[in-house]
Amino acid sequence: MEADRIRGLDGIRAIAILGVFYTHFVDGDSLLGDLAVRTFFILSAFLITAKLVALRDAEGFSFAALRSFYTRRALRLLPTYYAMVLALAAIGLVTIRDGLFYHLAFLSNVWFAMNMNWHPWVLAHIWTLSVEWQFYLIWPLVVLSCANRSVALVAAGAIAIALAFWLGCYVTGYYPDNMVLWSPFSLDAFGVGALVFFHSGMLARPVRTRLLAAILPAALWGALQLVETDGRPRLLLVVDFLLQILPLLPMAILIAITASGTSPIINRVLGARPLAYLGRISYGCYLYHFPMLWLMMHLMWRLFDYPLKRGIIQLVVVAIPTIAFSALSWEFFERPIQKWGAGRQKAPQAKITV
């Protein structure tokens, strides 16, 4: 079974998209959205590394192998993405002055970081997709041309680079919101995801011990986030920085356990059909949720003279049509493209070692 066909992993995607919904629709100060995005990064790196290793072992490093990888990624991600961006441009929500060409070139993170604002806000969320595509430009070259041990060392180096950037912010005191939009700040999540693939056996067993070892330090990190930083000694800020990677550990272990199948209970819960299906359509949910928010805000105002403000009502009013539209997009647009692409080429199976 291919790694991305494991239903439990779709369940993790579903939980992550619900975390994004909660932060964007209910509580903008919640950490759930940030943790959800980092979960997507970890899971993406995990699955992509698995596929690339299988491709390398089957075909070696070649232009054909690179073309095969990028063709599959493009067929999965680009049609829906460009359909959404161009539709927003057609109705005037995104113009050239709003960085249309940046968004089309998957440089949205650069656009928002340079302008230090979130305009146009209907595309504010796609900076994460730009970061992911920038990762895709480099990582296939690394995995296809190196042995597993070297790839793991590069992944560890990526984590070190991200931590170095975080440390620079803490030490200099320069920490504007737009800094995290630059790709190096997300390398820790991608590096962790790649390492999960190579060390999934160690992370998955024994389940209880690994979960406890990850949850305790992550809980410490969460507690520190509740403490005001103003007036705190610089040493404590540096310690806070050193704990930055801790929240990634529970996610990494959960992904390893789920992919390995060592916990039937976790797989049964995360693999439940409704949750797994939501995870399967989570890409569409992520793409469409801000445009759907714009649409529902206008509809609620024009039809009912009601300002749709952040809260549970906004969550219900926007999330439900977003999920419904994403399901339609998957069944009648994304899935047919996937089937067409699968008929043209057969990808090597990605095996998860445990």
Evaluate the CA torsion angle 338, 254, 282, 123 in order and state its sign. negative
Domain ranges of the chain: 3-344
Q: What is the pLDDT of residue 354?
A: 38
Q: What is the pLDDT of residue 305?
A: 86
What is the C-alpha separation between 105 and 2, in angstroms, rounded? Answer: 29
From the first residue on, what is the mean pLDDT of each consecutive set of 10 residues in the chain (354 residues)?
Answer: 70 96 92 90 96 91 89 94 97 95 97 92 97 96 95 96 82 70 93 92 65 62 56 54 71 88 87 95 98 96 89 96 98 93 64 48
Residue found by looking up tokens 């990624």 in the block:
73
What is the C-alpha separation between 129 and 106, in angstroms, rounded? Answer: 7
What is the C-alpha separation between 236 and 229, in angstroms, rounded? Answer: 9
Residues with Cβ within 8 Å of residue 316, at least 6 apart in sequence: none
Please give the full DSSP string across 133-180, using - where no structure is assigned: HHHHHHHHHHHHHS-HHHHHHHHHHHHHHHHHHHHHHHHHT---GGGG
Q: What is the pLDDT of residue 95?
A: 95
Give backbone dihedrals phi and psi of 309, rounded to 5 degrees, phi first.
-100, 160
Proportion of the chain in helix, strand, coil states, percent, rounded to 5: 80, 0, 20
Q: What is the pLDDT of residue 60?
A: 85
